[in-house]
Structure 1
């Protein structure tokens, strides 16, 4: 089956992935040091089209690992297509990256 252009997932350019990864690591460093990361999170959201909050970057037991967060940020945000039925879109959603909610600890020196 051929997919419409709006449904085809585009590859992420290495430069974009590197820029997103750098922004995420910078935010994590600011949060870890107790700095104000609000502007950096807003910049990341503008860059990716997502709506990340500071909680995604705080270390806690259920925090996503950095690679999962980078993958999520690199994926385009979900869009609603008016003529695609819900059942079909739910079945296809399984093939897309999901927003990370749990994962392994982000720091190897951290204890659970």
Structure 2
């Protein structure tokens, strides 16, 4: 497992860096992406630092489920109509640029397939 690093997301969790937060609870925080790839682009991150999905362990199962339910809650709160896409980039070749697990919610337009 990779060692957790102090990342921009860690600083957002600690309120050292401002973010446009749309949801927060004891386990997760959701905020607007500063480089949106769709009209709606929200990041959902766990407050517990997990560098990437490959580093998640069996004991993280409840947290991982909570993150998906947080995505559902945020999408409903934002009234995303006609669907949305959830993306987890894992590792450098997967397009992950911050070493802190995060889920992208993309919505507000039709998503094409295949991506990337």
> When the two structures are superposed, what TM-score results if normalisation uses the length of structure 2?
0.32
TM-score for both structures, normalised by structure 1: 0.33
Which structure carries more helix by proportion? 1
Larger Rg: 1
More strand by share: 2
